[in-house]
Amino acid sequence: MKNFIIALLLLVNTAVFAQNSSAENTPEQMVKDFFEAFHRQDTLTLSEIAYPGAKMESVSKDADGNTKLSSNGYSEFLKSIASIPAEASFEEKLLGFRVEKNGLLATVTTPYSFYYNGNFSHCGVNSFQLVNFNGAWKIVHLIDTRTKEGCD
Instruction: Flag whether pLDDT at 11 surpasses 90.
Output: no
**pLDDT band, residue 150 (cuts 50/70/90):** confident
Residue 76: name the closest of 48, 49, 56, 103 by CA. 56
Q: Where do the domains of the chain lie, and which CATH numbers do they carry?
A: 26-145 (3.10.450.50)
- The Cα 86–Cα 79 span in angstroms is 14
Q: Are 5 and 13 in contact (CB under 8 A)?
A: no
Q: Are 122 and 151 in contact (CB under 8 A)?
A: yes
Q: pTM here?
A: 0.81
Handedness of CA 9, 12, 15, 19 (dihedral sign): negative
Instruction: Flag whether pLDDT at 147 surpasses 70.
Output: yes
Instruction: Flag whether pLDDT at 99 surpasses 60.
Output: yes
**% of the chain surpassing 70 pLDDT:** 85
